[in-house]
Amino acid sequence: MIGSVELNLRETELCLGLPGGDTVAPVTGNKRGFSETVDLKLNLNNEPENKEGSTTHGVVTFDSKDKSSCPKDPAKPPAKAQVVGWPPVRSYRKNVMVSCQKSSSGPEAAAFVKVSMDGAPYLRKVDLRMYKSYDELSNALSNMFSSFTMGKYGGEEGMIDFMNERKLMDLVNSWDYVPSYEDKDGDWMLVGDVPWPMFVDTCKRLRLMKGSDAIGLAPRAMEKCKSRA
């Protein structure tokens, strides 16, 4: 590719962390480190323990008997492990409160959005304000939908790596899932383009699209990928 294009590559890179932040580590080759991508782990090999305690960064715990759960990662500040359905306030009310409290100071209320996964029999709801990054969200989602097969690739390879061209090509044909969301304007966007706080404010709905359906979203990423090759 022409050298002048490569100079601007960093800005146009499909970066799945905060843009321009120094947390973005230099990329070696095409594959990004785990912490810098939103990898949707949809593998069956999630240990059952993941469901119980918050082993990773304040993931919603389904086993609410685990009252004293604390994250095992000492580096992160102790995330408040929230219990599903507690306090007993209707999600309608929770959603209304968050849109009312946008401008006021003080702790933020919940932002519940529906999550659908193509092929799954039912939808879920997540409270985006419970997570601090795309990372945490993808962990929670993979826990939620771990009972569904993710296709041909097992284990580590199941992760969707946006910067891996081979993976993107396979997206077209495989059962891998691409996370997309509907924003305030009603448009369907690829998860990960905007800073996390902006995403939480604008996301109205999440959809884990089958790779083949994500063609409309993916080609942009594919082109950027090719241009870096």
CB of 108 to another protein, least distance (A): 7
Going by C-alpha positions, the residue among 128, 108, 91, 119 that lies closest to residue 204 is: 128
Q: Which is nearer to another protein, 128 or 221 (CB)?
A: 128
Distance CA 53, CA 78 (A): 13
List beta partners, residue 64: none
Distance CA 65, CA 190 (A): 36
Q: Which is nearer to another protein, 4 or 103 (CB)?
A: 103
Q: Which is nearer to another protein, 41 or 167 (CB)?
A: 41
CB of 70 to another protein, least distance (A): 15
CB of 45 to another protein, least distance (A): 13
CB of 65 to another protein, least distance (A): 6
Q: Which is nearer to another protein, 29 or 88 (CB)?
A: 88
The answer for residues whose C-beta is within 8 angstroms of residue 85's C-beta and 6 or more apart is none
Distance CA 44, CA 223 (A): 31
Residues that bind another protein (CB under 8 A): 63-65, 67, 80, 82-94, 96-97, 99-101, 103-104, 106-110, 112, 114, 121-125, 129, 147
Distance CA 22, CA 18 (A): 9
